[in-house]
Chains A and B, each alone.
Chain A
Amino acid sequence: MLTRRAFCLAACAVSLATPSLSQAADGPIKLRDLYNKDRSFSDLAESLKGRDVIVEGFMAPPLKADAAFFVLTKMPLAVCPFCEPDTEWPQDILAIYTKRVVDVIPFNVLITVRGILELGPYTDPDTGFWSMARLGNARYERF
């Protein structure tokens, strides 16, 4: 079993005012809540832009080892869909930029991620990964 190493949830939770990732007052946001059916951002996403949010999902198999980056998907994906050209990308994904190097959690374990929601096009200079929505300065844990 993997051990989490990078994220300071225990330390962060010492203050009662700081909820643990899975115990936010309103519960975690689902990825689909960030998008409308026409793939534009939802009113909720726009209202949370630049704010600290908690989102649930699954860690897609990483594009790159020892990166501070992974892709959050709404359903478990056994293989990295972003690693080959021409493969079909799933809908409702979120690029996650973490505070520390990612300690991989298996792809079929539900996790919650907390970070600052950023909207708008961005191309990652290291991976070339293009995203429309991201969480920055993120931490994560098993749900």
Chain B
Amino acid sequence: MIHRLSVSLIAVAAAAAAGAAQAEDIAQAQSQWFTDAQAVIQATLAKTPNTNRAKNVILFIADGNGVASNYMNRLWAGQQAGGMGDEYIQPQEAFPELALVKTYNINAQTPDSAPTAGAMNTGVKQRFNLINLGENAITDDCGTVAGNELTLFSELMTEAGKSVGAVTTARLTHATPAAVYAKTAHRNWEDEVPEGCTAQKDIATQLIDAMEAGTVDIALGGGARYFIPKGTATPNGGKGHRPDAVNLVERAQAAGIQYASDKASLDAATNDKPILGMWTDSHVSYEADRPETEPSLADMTKKALEVLGGNDKGFYLEVEAGRVDHANHDTNAKRAMIDGKAFADAIALADEMTNDEDTLIIVTADHEHAIAMNGYCGRGTPIDGLCMDVANEGIKHADKPVLAADGKPYTVVGYLNGTSSVLIKQEDGSYTAPEGRPEITQEQAQDLDYNQQVLIPKDSETHSGVDVALYAKGPWAHLFDGTIEQNYIFHVMDYAVNNGQ
């Protein structure tokens, strides 16, 4: 399928008819570029809005995967498939509906992942670093929690008799999955709240509360240390971190929730009881580093759909590729793009396992990063490597890299800030580049651990406020169009499951 155009069908039909009549007179009419585009016109004309009631909603979020990151992922996947990369279509890019999303928070031009996920799960924008509290709540102030707790999409779905799941490659208590079930004055209160704070519990406890209450039926990801007391070993062989001596894994198991600590135990878990699965003590491994004992994002998504699909009334599932964000923070573009491919694989699987007639699938990001692409590179330039020159003849890039004014090559992918600054900290504390930029080879640039050159030195590369894309298919997906506010996503999900009632 193709993206929806914002002109009326009647107007398009008229233009296409006129175009067809004139095609014989157009010199390029036999070009494949021309005929492919003509086919898109016909496919667009054939589109009909899906006004079924959505039984199921799947919200895919790749953390920090804005338009530039998504472009990088597309070229990586396409080049891994043997093509130039540009022409490749990621599974979500074949969805019929598209919008651009404005991601800012109430008080932040540059958003963080807590209020952005909260906006998608509640229908209202929120304040920086807090999750699912109203606009009068103040971040880090427990005293402003009471009375400001928002109603969650997961709670509405539970009331409607549907099942709910959260799947992530980050910690289950991290911002994006937490927004499915938690309400907190600070995203960092993962396993403890400040002394004297009684208005809310820590995020890990809120997850187990939600699973016991039946609001969350399956939760898969990382972060076991926040469920295990200090001084106690985690099921993964590490150390627990909870200061309150409560073992939440034992509590969950006592409540009849199945616990899985690796892929084998996840596979062995039955689909008729809730499942809590955590493969790591902190975030799940990057896809590039993932041992076979950890399920992939697609593996987790598959299990979640098998469990949730058992409910005849339907389900809500949020799936997060949490580590595109982390690799971008490290200015390590290669791990980001590899995790981007793992995200696309999970989307393709979910699309295959569900029916467009009754399942609304939304694919988006919570925010973009300070990432951008350099030019001018020829076709087929490895997206994980140096920018290679445009060849004047043929299609594929020339054999030589493009050189900057300093006579040195540079990578296609760049970041504006981060640890890998070309400015080097000197003994007097100043940052300068007396030897200029490092001169890098293609082999160095394509190394898994390579960090892109950046300008501004920072401890960690930052998010940016640039729009992110949203792709959708299924019931009422056509309500996504144009440039939207991030909190609007909740409203389409809610409208779709209620069929506008």
Residues of chain A having any CB pair with chain B under 8 Å: 1-2, 30-32, 36-38, 74-79, 86, 88, 91, 106-110
Contacts and interface: CB of A to CB of B under 8 A. Distances in A.
Contacts of A31: 449
Nearest to A104: B427
Contacts of A108: 419-421, 424-425, 457
Considering the complex of A and B, which 3 residue pairs feature the smallest CB-CB distances, nearest first?
Answer: A37-B291, A78-B459, A76-B419
Contacts of A86: 241
A35 B449 CA distance: 14
B426 A2 contact: yes
Contacts of B161: none
Interface stretch (B2-10, B202-210, B282-290): B282-290
B169 to A, nearest CB: 15
B293 interface: yes
B458 A32 contact: no
Contacts of A78: 419, 457-460
A92 to B, nearest CB: 8
Interface residues of B, number: 28
Contacts of B426: 1-2, 106
B419 A88 contact: no
Contacts of A106: 424-426
Interface of B: 241, 282, 285, 289-293, 330, 332, 419-421, 424-427, 434-435, 438, 447-449, 451, 457-460
A91 B419 contact: no
B438 A110 contact: yes
Nearest to B451: A75
Nearest to A27: B443
Nearest to A35: B289
B141 to A, nearest CB: 23
Most A CB within 10 A of own CB, among B425, B438, B459: B425
A110 B445 CA distance: 13
Contacts of B332: 75
B427 A2 contact: yes
Nearest to B438: A110
Contacts of A2: 426-427
Contacts of B448: 32
Nearest to A79: B459
A75 B421 contact: no
Nearest to B237: A39
Contacts of A88: 282
Contacts of A1: 424, 426, 434-435
Given A75-B332, A78-B458, 6 more contacts: A30-B447, A37-B292, A76-B451, A77-B419, A79-B459, A107-B419
B284 to A, nearest CB: 13
A37 B290 contact: yes
A61 B65 CA distance: 30
A107 B241 contact: no
A38 B285 CA distance: 10
Nearest to A143: B438
A32 B448 CA distance: 10
Contacts of A74: 449
Contacts of B425: 106-108
A75 B438 contact: no
Most B CB within 10 A of own CB, among A31, A76, A109: A76
A32 B420 contact: no
A109 B420 CA distance: 9
B442 to A, nearest CB: 15
A75 B449 contact: yes
Nearest to A1: B434
A37 B291 CA distance: 5
B126 to A, nearest CB: 26
A38 B434 contact: no
B449 A76 contact: no
A109 B451 CA distance: 11
Contacts of B419: 75-78, 107-108
Contacts of A36: 291
Contacts of A91: 289
12 contacts: A32-B448, A38-B291, A75-B332, A75-B449, A75-B451, A77-B419, A78-B458, A86-B241, A91-B289, A107-B419, A108-B419, A108-B457
Contacts of B449: 30-32, 74-75
B453 to A, nearest CB: 10
Nearest to B460: A78
A137 B339 CA distance: 38
A107 B424 CA distance: 8
A66 to B, nearest CB: 14
Nearest to B282: A88
Contacts of B292: 37
A38 B289 CA distance: 9
A75 to B, nearest CB: 6
Contacts of B241: 86
Contacts of B447: 30
A30 B427 CA distance: 28
Contact of A76 (B291, B420, B427): B420
B214 to A, nearest CB: 33
A78 B431 CA distance: 13
A109 B424 contact: yes
B330 A75 contact: yes
A107 B460 CA distance: 13
A37 B285 contact: yes
A74 B448 CA distance: 10
Nearest to B449: A74
Nearest to A91: B289
B187 to A, nearest CB: 15
Given A2-B426, A74-B449, A107-B425, A38 B293 contact: yes
A26 B425 CA distance: 31
B289 A37 contact: yes
